[in-house]
């Protein structure tokens, strides 16, 4: 079973502009206080390394594997936390009309330990998703 935490926000910018912000890994420090020091290769199976500082949880560094990406559409990576816990992390852009999009970012937890982590931290993670969405929205709209 999967457990999801997500934040969706309207952005008055093109999908291309939003994607440019997402695809600029070194630029994440300017708009994303939760996921910083991001580096990696934007390619299927490529790795993404980052520092994560979710308020209320211990800061950590990890490397994930990019599972899906589509320019102007989505970036998805997976982190395995042992045999019983996986985290899928994603950003998705849905263009409603030129210059107007819905941006989603979230976490999907799976595995036995994933359920427990979700239950314990979903409010904290929801707040982190809200902070990330707002930072990305403001940057893309400027």
pLDDT digits 0-9 by tens, 50-98? 999 999 889 999 999 999 999 999 999 998 876 678 889 999 999 999 9
pLDDT digits 0-9 by tens, 101-137? 999 999 998 877 767 777 778 899 999 999 999 999 9
The third-level CATH classification (topology) of the domain covering 2-141 is: Alpha-D-Glucose-1,6-Bisphosphate; Chain A, domain 4 (3.30.530)
Each domain of the chain, given as residue ranges in start order, spans: 2-141
Q: What contacts 81, CB < 8 A, 6 or more positions away? A: 87, 113, 114
pTM: 0.91
Gap between the Cα atoms of 23 and 53, Å rounded: 20
């Amino acid at each position: 079973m999967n457990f999801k935490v997500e934040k969706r926000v309207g952005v008055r910018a093109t999908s291309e502009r939003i994607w440019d912000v997402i695809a600029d890994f070194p630029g994440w420090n300017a708009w994303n206080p939760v996921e910083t020091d991001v580096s990696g290769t934007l390619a299927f199976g490529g790795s993404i390394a980052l520092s994560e500082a979710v308020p209320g949880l211990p800061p950590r560094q990890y490397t994930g594997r990019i599972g899906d990406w589509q320019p102007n559409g989505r970036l998805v990576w997976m982190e395995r936390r042992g045999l019983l816990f996986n985290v899928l992390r994603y950003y998705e852009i849905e263009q409603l009309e030129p210059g107007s999009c819905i941006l989603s970012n979230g976490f999907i937890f799976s595995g036995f330990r994933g359920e427990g982590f979700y239950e314990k931290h979903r409010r904290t993670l929801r707040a982190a998703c809200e902070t990330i969405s707002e930072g990305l929205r403001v940057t893309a709209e400027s």
